[in-house]
Structure 1
Amino acid sequence: MRDDTPANPLLEPSPLPFSLPPFGLIRDEHYTEAFDRGMAEHRAEVDAIAIDPAPPTFENTLVALERSGALLSRTSLAFFGTSSSLATAEVQAIEEDYAPRLTAHRDAVRLDPRLYARIKAVHDDEDAMAALDAEARRLVERHLTEMTVAGAGLDEEDKVRLRALNEQLATLGTRFEKQLLADSNELAVLVDDLTDLDGLTSGEVSAAAQAARDHGHDGAWLITLVLPTAHPHLASLTDRDLRRRLHEAQGSRGDRGNANDTKELVLAIVRLRAERARLLGYPTHAAAALADSTARSPERVLGLLGRLAPAAARNIEAERELLEAEAGHPVEAHDWAYWSERVRATRYAVDLAAMRPYFEAERVLHDGIFRAAERLYGLTFTEREDLAGYHPDVRVFEVHEADGTPIGLYLLDLHTRDTKKGGAWMNSLVHQNDLLGRPHAVVTNNLNVPKPGLGEPTLLTYDETRTFFHEFGHALHGLLARVTYPHFAGTRVFRDFVEYPSQVNEMWMLWPEVLASYAVHHETGERLPQELVDRLVEAQAWGEGFGTGEYLAAALLDQAWHALSVEEAAAVTDVAAFEAQVLEQVGLGSPLVPPRYRSTYFAHTFSYAYDAQYYAYIWSEVLDADTVALFRENGGLTRENGDRYRRHVVGIGGAADPLASYREFRGADANVRHLLERRGLD
């Protein structure tokens, strides 16, 4: 009898160009089989390294470890590279089931005392280390440091407890993400009167109509929610009551006492992290999380955040006075974005909503984002309609050097859908590295732009355009890094450094020659008038009080949750009360400017691995603002500047110390004054 069961395509390397995963052949059950087999194969390979009777060397220990786990790595990249974009019930079930198993497997490797002893022996052999090249030495140092911080030096009894804590935390983090997505979908705002949507573009209205039809509400409009507290529609909706409804929906996620309430998950995660930190020898989770970062300690982070918070609070108050003068009445939180745009229009003659017809997504992509990468790095992009992504909406582009040498693939998933988690992000599907003979990278960008009706153009907001440039900066980091070892591939750098290249890439959004290329009215073909561009640049500092305040509130809240000792974490029982107390203490407790993320939907810190490290964005912005100053001082968007930046920053992955590389690039440490000037905090 013939067996018609299709072979599992994950069990062998992909035959597709650039090793793109064959998503058209992959079924959900293939992931579970590949995860199970991949973990078993990897464990056997690690055991063989650990029991090798030969004395430990770089080749038989570090290189062997880098070569191990090929099937598990291939499966993990394909699954977790798409699980946030295709969060179906089946995918979520796999994620919830395998998150603790994969955590247990990682612990089995990084806590293995035999492996730890071999790596330490290589590290302590000064002659052998001196004979290695710089990237190889860094590989030894990073493996040893990461295993030490993870707890490899603990005794076996403590390791048993550590493994249990890690598995529990993996389960809770996955559950937090799942419940947040469900609650966000439930809280989407239904509108039954078209006049209530006054202020939205025709594309936004058609997207809301399509979302309503998809949910069985023909003849109505449905506004789906986004991850941050401030929904982009709040800046343009003229109906104050609808703004209030939308703002309240955004802020109530995970805090409604229903099956998707996340408050108990928040408390449980914080307590378990505090216990794990103590077990590892740290007073708090923040101290443990920052021990292996560029910041090094919570004190240094709080030093920067504390320096910025008072100035942000002052700017918020000054902005409030202007908003209320413009509105003619006291403003509330749901009014802030709307009246902020009115002040921008009155004071600077800049109406961001009126600029949307100039930000058509296709032109932004080709004539803005791709054009800047071509001018800076010589890259070219060719759409590959013969290659399929993981969803029909996903587009695939082949990326080449100026001389035609292929670099890899760029996948773009632009539009929102119910199975896509909120926010915007970059993932890697294939890591470039020389050791395993992978010369090319494959990366994805995800955004959550509402999809307009058939025939309607996708018009981006100013913030969506900036986010697009930002996420493409991550994509470039993943594409351009050239490393020997998989451990250093692409964006595998310190969490508080990874946002730096992406934030630098935002600068090209308003760079004159880039803006002139893509900012073209989608109907008339008229370019964005130069006088409007000049006013836009002049108005950039407007709203930075709010923007800095909402960000700092979230960053300080993240630090506060993770600065709790075991006893202090156990004593916290009311999430809202703790949050209010923290924000009041740092002077950012105004209800008019809520945190960018409240605790109950703070996915970055409770499920996205930014725990105690949400400060990374502004920490990286110190480097970013300093880099922008360097570009401006040296001719701007030129290949010479791009090649230098590529050589020292985006081209090295994690293969060198990031701050030492930055000093080579800049000739000095970053100067914080450029950040203060940019945000109007000087």
Structure 2
Amino acid sequence: MANLRHCRPQESVTLLDDVSNSLCHIADAAELVRNVHPDEAYVAHASSAVQEIAGYMSEVNLDASVYQCMKDAEAEASRDSEGLSLEARTVLHHMRVSMEHEGIHLAQAEKQACIEMLDAEQQLAFDIVQRQEQARQRISSGTDGAWIPVSALGNLSLDQWRLKERSGRHGREVHVPRDTFLADRILKVVPCGEARRQMHEAQQSRDSAAEEMMVQLLAVRQQLAKIRGYPSWAHYAQREALFQSPDKVKHFLEATWEQLRPGFLAELRVLADEKEALGQGSILEPWDVPFLLHRCKEKRQEADQISTYLTYGSLMAGVELVLSRLLGLAFVQEDPDPGEVWHPSVQKFALRDAERTIGILYLDPFPRPGKKVQSAQFTLQGSKMLADGQLQVPKTCLVYALPPGSQCLSTSFAVTFMHEIGHAVHSLLSETHFQHLSGTRGTIDFVEFPSHLFEHFVLDPDCLATYASHSTTGARLPQNLRDAHCHRPFGHFEAVQQLTYALVDQAFYSFHPSPEKDLQTHLHSMLGSFEQGLDGPSNASLLELLGLSTATARFDHLVHYGGSYYCYLFNRALSAHVWQQSFRPDPFNRETGERLHSLLRGGSVVQTLDVIRDLCPGDPAFDAHEVPLDAMMA
């Protein structure tokens, strides 16, 4: 780093990326280890390593000499437009802006205020997530919950739960803490409406301390956005996104709601008919919805039958098929070297193009004690051109909690599995010159596209039939189950849930806390337009029917995806459109595969809708907020 001021622009970018690459080798591996390693000593040391690297990076990001060298390199590159590649200019710009977001360019007093806000933002986010996790795991009489008569719980087993008990008017009662698996189970399977009502109302109670922490987090993030030159945190979160502004996100969400509403109302009427058939009236209450959804879905025996064709083994066969037939690559399992993996169940695979290894995938598929994540991708090494002219081989790890062996998986498990495979393939096929923008290291609404596209290798019934086999007989998926797989029930309901999360996210991050303003009033006002025209068989609000409220502490995604949660619904629509246009007729067409490979090879250097639309030759152009919705609705 000491030689940075003597470097030409290309040398500056290369040197900075080399340093970043070395640090990421340590920090990325440590981040994985502290989440999955069974030995607490390894976990503790890995956490220390992550913190030490983060501390060093904070120092570098506030190093005035490094910042000045970046500015000088950018200025020199602007005078010589052919001196730097697009990727090098993009990386240099990203690095310089990243330093400015930490306050390097500010006067000393403002810089110190920015540093303090960054520390506060990080600590608040950590404390909120910890509080949410502790609330889910805490089982005690002091936890918010409901006292429910055991007689009202029917056949629901309580053997594995150590619950507080008491004698009540209706005999023995147990205290069921909210936000637990048992609470959710009561809402889904207990026929007694009164028991479900009690549980629902307990779920809706507010944690005033957590709500105050959320307002504090919002206030800090809004101040940081202002320092960085943006009107709100939502504008900051979307600064390089495909949508570019919250107004366009709002346009997309409103248009999507208009398309979803008729189907959503029809599904509500199905639930109301089911309630009436049970002799309980036809007006839906919020605590009826989970129970009736579960009951209606259970009637579809095809769903259980399809799951017998979905095992870890059959999904891995699907991955091999996609990589070989669509992308022309070999997917080969290898024996890990001694000490290379952290548990005997971890598997290692090499992705090869002829004799050349182009990527390494580690799979940690099964649950075990101490494993802190259930579904995640961890990048271990990005693509990068090394000093000897060789491309650094990307490495990534996927972590799941799948039932082991030949046990059957639900469709949702299978979709999640293939979603994460999409992220991994994006990382492994990246061939960027610098690791800074390799693979999934880009803006979220761009990098979520490949993962959503890969979901269709499970969702498309004809595609699924090419690799899914019965867990015991090995038979292929029959035609009647293919037909049933085309018509998954309550798809509008699930999409509206995703839409509502995005609405709350946008409303929350458009609010600027002050003594004169009330967050709850603002949220209800912003969501009010989506309540209009909801003339279904219920007197409840949209949020209530979805089991939600405006208690912001109950929305985990407000911390992790602040201002950008819309990307999931957007990519659901975009991937469905691309699949319908280019993949549906022949999911393994090599010409289509070459276009996909070209997109993935570019990592996240060019993050535009154009490179995604290139997958659909001849498709009319459209802006992100006007993405075609027909394929998703189908």
TM-score band by shorter chain is 0.7 to 0.9
Counterpart CA distance in 2 for 1:503 and 1:225 is: 32
8 Å contact 1:370–1:381 — kept in the other structure?
yes
Q: Is 1:277–1:283's contact at 8 Å kept on the other side of the alignment?
A: yes
Q: Is 1:378 aligned to residue 328 of structure 2? A: yes
**Is the alpha carbon distance of 1:461 and 1:507 closer, same or farther for their aligned partners in structure 2, counting shifts above 3 Å?**
same
1:176-575 equivalence runs, <5 A: 176-186=128-138, 238-240=189-191, 252=203, 262-327=210-275, 328=277, 329=280, 330-333=283-286, 335-336=288-289, 339-340=292-293, 343=296, 351-364=302-315, 366-387=316-337, 391-392=342-343, 394-417=345-368, 419-421=370-372, 424-435=375-386, 439-449=392-402, 451=403, 457-511=406-460, 514-537=463-486, 539-540=487-488, 542-567=489-514, 571-572=517-518
Q: Give matches, 1:49-68, under 5 Å.
A: 49=3, 52=5, 54=6, 57-68=8-19
2:592 to 623, 626, 641: 641
Aligned residues: 593
Q: Which residue of 546, 555, 558 corresponds with 1:593?
A: 546
Percent sequence identity over matched residues?
20
Contact in 2 for aligned 1:496/1:617 (Cα 8 Å): yes
Compute the displacement of 1:299 (Å).
1.1
The Cα of 1:143 is off from its aligned counterpart by: 3.0
Which digits, 9 at most, give the CA deviation of each residue in 1:149-174, with x for residues without a partner?
55443323211111111112112222
CA contact (8 A) 2:350 2:360 kept: yes
**Contact 2:26/2:49 (8 A) holds in 1:** no
How far is 1:507 from its partner? 1.1
The CA deviation at 1:325 is: 0.9
Aligned residues of 2:415 and 2:459 also touching (Cα < 8 A): no
Q: TM-score, normalised by structure 2?
A: 0.80
Give the letter aligned to residue 481 of structure 1: S
Contact kept in structure 2, 1:350 and 1:536, CA below 8 Å: no
Aligned mates of 1:254, 1:98 — CA distance in 2: 39
8 Å CA contact retained: 1:82, 1:390: no
Maintained 8 Å contact 2:257/2:496: yes
Taking structure 1 as reference, are residues 572 and 550 closer, same or farther at Cα in structure 2, changes over 3 Å only? same
Equivalent pair of 1:254/1:262 in contact (CA under 8 Å)? no
**1:629 touches 1:674 (CA, 8 Å); kept in 2?**
no
Are residues 1:73 and 2:33 paired? Answer: no
Distance 2:497 2:584 in 1: 31
Q: Against the structure 1 CA distance between its residues 663 and 315, is the aligned structure 2 distance closer, same or farther, given a 3 Å change threshold?
A: closer
TM-score (norm: length of structure 1): 0.75
Could you tell me whether the CA contact under 8 Å between 2:511 and 2:522 is conserved in 1?
no
**SS of aligned partner of 1:383:** strand
In 1: Cα distance, 2:181 partner to 2:629 partner: 24
Unpaired stretches in structure 1, ≥5 consecutive residues: 1-44, 199-204, 214-222
Distance, in Å, in 1 between the alignment partners of 2:376 and 2:80 is 40
Contact 1:630 1:666 in 2 (8 A): yes
Q: Shift in Å at residue 660 of structure 1?
A: 3.8
CA 663–70 in structure 1, closer or farther in 2 if over 3 Å, else same: closer
| Cα contact 1:499–1:617 (8 A) shared by 2 | yes
* Counterparts in 2 of 1:361 and 1:479: CA distance versus 1, 3 Å: same
Rounded to whole Å, the distance in 2 between the matches of 1:612 and 1:179 is 21
Q: Give the superposition deviation at 1:361.
A: 2.1
- Residues 383 and 395, structure 1, Cα contact 8 Å, conserved in 2: no
- C-alpha contact (below 8 Å) 2:211/2:551 kept by paired residues: no
- Deviation at residue 309 of structure 1 after TM alignment: 2.6
Match of 2:555 among 602, 617, 624: 602
1:9 matched residue in structure 2: none
Asked whether the equivalents of residues 230 and 596 of structure 1 are also in contact (C-alpha less than 8 Å), the reply is no
**Counterpart AA for 1:459:** C
In structure 1, give the amino acid aligned to 2:503.
Answer: L
Which residue number in structure 1 is paired with residue 621 of structure 2? 669
In structure 1, what is the Cα distance between the partners aligned to 2:178 and 2:468? 27
Q: Distance in 1 between matches of 2:491 and 2:10?
A: 52
Per the alignment, residue 14 of structure 1 pairs with none
For residues 587-611 of structure 1, the C-alpha deviation after alignment (integer angstroms, 9 at most, x for no partner) is 27341213599732433331x3x21
Give, as a single letter, the amino acid of the residue that structure 2 aligns with 1:552.
Answer: L
